[in-house]
A = this chain, B = another copy of it.
Amino acid sequence: MSDKARLYLFPVPMGDSPVDKVLPPVNTAIIREVKYFVVENLRSARRFLKSCDRNIDIDSLSMVELNEHTDLADVAAMLDPMARGHSIGVISEAGCPAVADPGADLVAVAQARGYEVVPLVGPSSILLSLMGSGFNGQNFAFNGYLPVDAKARGAKLKEMIRRITAEHQTQIFIETPYRNNRLIADLAERLPGDIRLCVASDITCSRQSIITRPLSQWKKTPYNYDKIPTIFLLYSQT
């Protein structure tokens, strides 16, 4: 085993944003040297590689898919080229690998085998939303999707409000995009009006918008985030 073999985590632009807006030049320089890839989706990975370097010879590269259809038992073998000294690159469909995506399982195996893992800088809608919200960045939690079931959702919201109030912890979550408008109405209905909601949508893309308002104001103001990828953040400030 060569100790030079590394597991590189390559972030990918989200939506229509160009590479030079969201990725440092070093990422592209490294990606040209890697011959083995584990990718969330073959077609989008090929498109991303071409956008990094249009002269890249895609057919000379080894690519394996890792996504929600992959059997967990097959993940470990994807790292086998590292035992022969080859670095591997992980490419998600959009954003940062291993944050809210199946790449984390692959990284866990690499860590267990003692390989060097190298995460590269790129766009994270969670982090960018938090920066733009004006909320507490010293203490925050990303909760993924809220429960769909009404009772479980109510309990989750109640606990999030408790952590905002008692722990000053910013609460971040997402929703299936076609339910975005309904979620905002639901939050404005259920939660105290002085709680502040930040709606961060189409992050790094052409229609980017990051708006923080008390829920009492969201209740009175028209909005439309239907089918636009959006992150939601809740916090209370005095």
Contacts and interface: CB of A to CB of B under 8 A. Distances in A.
Interface of A: 9, 20-26, 96-101, 104-105, 107-112, 116-119, 121-124, 126-144, 169, 198, 204, 208, 210-213, 237
B24 A99 contact: no
A236 to B, nearest CB: 12
Nearest to A105: B134
A140 B169 CA distance: 12
Contacts of A21: 24, 26, 121
Nearest to A159: B167
Contacts of A140: 141-142
A70 B105 CA distance: 44
B144 A132 contact: no
16 contacts: A9-B132, A21-B121, A98-B131, A100-B138, A104-B136, A108-B212, A110-B134, A111-B133, A112-B212, A119-B128, A119-B129, A121-B123, A121-B204, A126-B127, A138-B142, A138-B144
